[in-house]
Structure 1
Amino acid sequence: MTQYRKGGMAVAALAAWMLAAGAQAAGPKAEVMHWWTSSSESAAVRKFADAYRAAGGVWVDTAIAGADQAKAVAINRIVGGNPPTAAQFNTTKQFRDLIDQGSLNNVDDVALRDKWDQLLPGPMLDVIKVKGHYYALPVNIHMSTWIWYSKAAFKKAGITKEPATPDELFAALDKLKAAGLIGLAHGGQAWQENILFQAMLANVGGKELYLQVLRDRNPKALNSEAFKQVLVAFKRLQSYVDAGSPNRNWNDATAMLISGKAGVQIMGDWAKGEFSAARQSAGKDFGCIAGLGPQVPYLIQGDAFVFPKTANADAVKAQKLLATTLMAPAAQLEFSKLKGSLPVRSDIDVSTMDACAQAGMAAMKDKSRQVGMIEVYITPDQNGALQDVLTAFWNTRMPVEKAQKSIAAALLQD
């Protein structure tokens, strides 16, 4: 055996030892499955990955475009016995079946140690805490019915005052249309029409009717004249969209405000990330309205990670490290700055965030305004049936009376 060959074997042995030592030294590895794939979302999730790595963990990123597709893949892998360490869902009833089937680990010790009951809003706790156990890590707060507007478009249309009531909003849309602009930038997709419906229910109907319709599914409220007027307002919005609306993505609709081609978009605060990516500033280039009146409910939802059932000690350790590091104040703040959301913790100083985030946090301080968005109160099946009616009503000449009866039937199903 030559000296060179001996030397090569020694180097190989040393390399193998170093790899083994590195594997032992590396912290818990977490495969994190999510659907954050837009430019602003990708930048935001990197903040979480950096925080996890800084805590000693190994982050394995599994990004799948489209929320429905990502959730379907996660569920298939959980059922198939090859789950990721953590999988993204929304803070709704989406993962309740997984809880009921015993497919998720809880993170009770982390939640109790870090006092989640004191830090998190009630509508979120109601979803993640089931029979006294914490089954998901909420990582942010999204409000789905923000009203965004282009300052340039408003100036061109001669709109000098920010709308403060539903009537003023429709007056502004009329002025935008008269000025040759697109009044409402909208993507004709079922979930986006669902958002417009929620916005009208909250802003035209108010908190009491909103809860009676969605949380209580009260037949009297569903068949009331007040609810009929909500549907009339919802349908009226359709007269302000452009012919290119069907199947448009939400971020392409936001781009219409960024370019000044359209005046208003009703969309969740994730849209703010698109404004930021285009280097536009809140209050200067665009405006944001949390509600058309000080008592309009602030409809909250958010993103969360669930932790699939596993008995693997390293995987459990990784799940608990994720629950700890992603809830940490610094990670919460840096993530939300890029995502367009609010930190889920109530004790975080948001003075370094933009004007819209500060307005949202101010609204959250009034707990009477904290109301869950639609999927917090109804099942995925009920929501799907509702969306089918809304989309048909939006796209056809369906009479409002028929739409009202069909919505009642959809929400009153078991």
Structure 2
Amino acid sequence: MLGVQLVQEQRIRLSITPEMKQSFQLLTMSGQDLTRYLLDAAEENPVLELEEQAALLARIPRRMDQRRYDSYDPLLQAKGAEPTLEQLLIAQIRVMTIPDELENMAVYLAGCVNDDGYLTVELAEVQATLGLPMSKIAAGLELLQSLEPAGVGARNLQECLLLQIRRDPSAALNAEWMVEAGLEALVPFHPGRTGRRLGMTSREAQTAYDYITRLDPKPCRSIGCTERPHYIIPDAIVGLRNGEVHYSLHAAGNPRVSMNEACFRWIREEAPDTIWSTRVAEARAIIRSVHLRRRTLVRVLAAVMEEQKHFLVKGPSALKPLNLAVIAEKIGMHESTVSRAVNGKYIETPHGVYELRAFFASGISTTSGDKTSASAVKRRLKEIIRTEQAQRPYSDNHLATLLAKEGIVISRRTVAKYREELQILPSLERKRWA
């Protein structure tokens, strides 16, 4: 027979409240994202008030007299939107004295050029779309390829290089012939084998190869404005004063929020329905989360800069190995909280603006028993390669040996990995044969 009884038992369960979730969310945000979030929150909740930051006064040029230029408008100094690549190409076509049919064909093809300057459609596809003879389409393409910069309108890399070579009066001898023979002969390059195959000396092959490597495979990548620039506003400013680390949070990235006194007084005196009470609770939760975010950032920043004090004095070469666990133990927080605090945050230092996560570098043991950061090893590797002889570049194995002599013991595979991250070619492709 089954019995029924009451049993009392004690359990420990971790539950995350909505306010805790909100605190985690705000801590992960960058300063710009936080400002946008608070603006939206203040727009929806009249109890919440976002304090406006005082706008910086525009600096008037020294030669201007403030009394004479009272109507000076700083917005007039703002840079306007740059024209697109298509607009620049069409502007060149419009000033030419050519038949309307040829002009329209070249304008149509200019609209089919991608950001790098390559034609993205087949001529057969253009013929099927417009119903024009191939001779007129080819004439429009020839006109497009005659525009600036040299190489625009090419259909592949080989044609792009040939267009640049043929427009250059100081082009190296045999460079055009070498490209026409095929790009597969250039990677990897050996002047002796290439010279014998193309009927030239190794010195002539090396000279032509050096010239080809200076050509631009994407001639239009820096022309026109295809996307809005991304500006970084540092979340904090760090520096040294009399040997002591000083830091402060940037006002633009750490906005201040408060309660709207008039609205809060009306709610307290009139005692309206629960909707307004909920609004007050939401506003208080956001204010507490913002204050908690500020305190957490200050603690994390102070701990990181205390560990990386030598960076402020000597620069990036003095970065020491550091991980999240060290900072978490130092400030008495969980490692995941530190990770959220450094995510997407930037700080302004005497050596430039750095992402806060850049100060957490993996450590590499040295023969002296100390540790150095991976970024410092990469910088040293880059310096060694910069000083090598062009005719006898260092192999990855030799680079590992040179670093070992300096006390940095890493394998050849690690050297190859760091070299690829630095976008440095292998020794065979760095070698100059003549």
**What band does the TM-score fall into relative to the shorter chain?**
under 0.3
TM-score by length of 1: 0.23
Bigger RCO (CA 8 Å, 6+ sep) = 1
* Larger Rg computed on CA atoms: 2
TM-score by length of 2: 0.22
